Amino acid sequence: MDRLILHEDPRSGNCYKIKLTAAMLGLPLELRQYDIMKGDTRRPEFLQSVNANGRIPVLQVGHRFLPESNAACWFLAEGSFLIPEDPFDRADMLRWMFFEQYNREPNVATLRFWLHFVGEANLTEHQRGQIMAKRAGGEAALGLMEEKLAGEAWFVGETVTLADIALYAYTHVCEAGGFRLKDYPAICGWLKRVEALPRYVPMT
Amino acid sequence: MDRLILHEDPRSGNCYKIKLTAAMLGLPLELRQYDIMKGDTRRPEFLQSVNANGRIPVLQVGHRFLPESNAACWFLAEGSFLIPEDPFDRADMLRWMFFEQYNREPNVATLRFWLHFVGEANLTEHQRGQIMAKRAGGEAALGLMEEKLAGEAWFVGETVTLADIALYAYTHVCEAGGFRLKDYPAICGWLKRVEALPRYVPMT
């Protein structure tokens, strides 16, 4: 495999997903760090050479650049135990990864970023006006995960897949966004199962 | 393959993606229609038996249910010409599909839904307060697509993939959300290329 370089900010759960996937697969990953709070990923050199969308993470594979955290996890994990062999299960894994980016990330991760890193006092009026809707959206997403995990140990099939890794990243730190994990006992059990996996690494 | 049933609302671009994918692959798809304006997908029977997330589209494959439009497209297209064989290109296709759901859909598709179907006069104050940010987000997403298509005919590689189908769905009707296609000449050329593909079917 080509040399793998992750362009990242260690505070980002989206970056952590890729590091956790690489760790579980024993793949070496070089890190290039950026400070999103200082606008490092909006500078012309980043936009031109790494990602025109101005976002991290970006997985660099040799001379090619792959933005979008879940696409990077897929690239690393193809052909491994983290992607199910059954075609329906494989699509169902992608289903939970799209859910993660559409329903979960913009609510749970954004509130964590706003409340924990930016600080409520520093939010714009427009951002402050969105807090209640994002709280409700985040609780709905966590509620749906709780319902799924009340009956099953993993999101897809009988074992861990990329769906669990993608959903774990921001869920295990959701209290920094004002969500209460004790309201979600099945999620708490699943977080412990993820953390007990061989080669698991914590977010630093 | 098991019997394929699409639970859908014909006004939804997310549902259309799946119908376009099936048409291009010559796969038969039975349709079950719901009216999202009347809350059909929030009723208990839908939540219990089709999708606990209260959303369409859902692709039913025999007795199993697959929500999330891009996951459903993936399921239909696995092993076909619509998914690249090269591993990096396959991940890069998923990258554009995640971009579609994260950066494009919540802005371009939501404004179309609000302005064209709900009507500006019927929006809540909270929704009205989000229009400017969604306009800016939608223009940024379309700008990024324009930049990509200024240099290449398709989003990934030398031919159409699911990335094009996923991005085509709401882009070709974005004017209903107040975006102006004439500002994006490279996108306009690409829309024509998609529409000239064998087995293309229009959104009805």
Å between A101 CA and nearest CA of chain B? 6
Question: B106: which chain A residues are within 8 Å (Cβ-Cβ)?
Answer: 102, 106
pLDDT at A94: 98
Contacts with A, B 95-114, CB within 8 Å: 95, 97-99, 101-103, 105-106
Q: Hey, are the CB atoms on A99 and B144 less than 8 Å from each other? A: no
Is residue A142 a contact partner of residue B142, using CB atoms and an 8 Å limit? no
Q: How far apart are CA B161 and CA B143, in angstroms?
A: 20
Question: A129: which chain B residues are within 8 Å (Cβ-Cβ)?
Answer: 126, 129
Name the pTM for this structure: 0.97
Q: Hey, are the CB atoms on B91 and A66 less than 8 Å from each other? A: yes
Q: Which structural domains are found in chain B, ordered by start?
A: 4-77 (3.40.30.10), 87-195 (1.20.1050.10)
Question: B144: which chain A residues are within 8 Å (Cβ-Cβ)?
Answer: 52-53
Contacts with B, A 159-198, CB within 8 Å: none
Condensed to tens digits (0 to 9), the pLDDT of residues A126-141 reads 899 899 999 999 999 9
Which of A61, A98, A144 comes nearest B68 by C-beta? A98
pLDDT at A58: 98
SS (H, E, C) chain B: CCCEEEEECCCCHHHHHHHHHHHHHCCCCEEEECCHHHCHHHCHHHHHHCCCCCCCCEEEECCEEEECHHHHHHHHHCCCCCCCCCHHHHHHHHHHHHHHHHHHHHHHHHHHHHHHHHCHHHCCHHHHCCHHHHHHHHHHHHHHHHHHHHHCCCCCCCCCCHHHHHHHHHHCCHHHHCCCHHHCHHHHHHHHHHHCCCCCCCCC
pLDDT at A204: 85
pLDDT at A46: 96
Segments of chain B with pLDDT less than 70: none
Which of B70, B103, B130 comes nearest A98 by C-beta? B70
pLDDT at B204: 85
Question: A106: which chain B residues are within 8 Å (Cβ-Cβ)?
Answer: 102, 106
Q: Is residue A14 over pLDDT 90?
A: yes
Condensed to tens digits (0 to 9), the pLDDT of residues A76-121 reads 999 999 999 999 999 999 999 999 999 988 999 999 999 999 999 9
- Residue B40 in contact with partner chain A when CB distance is under 8 A: no
Q: Is residue A1 over pLDDT 90?
A: no
ipTM: 0.96
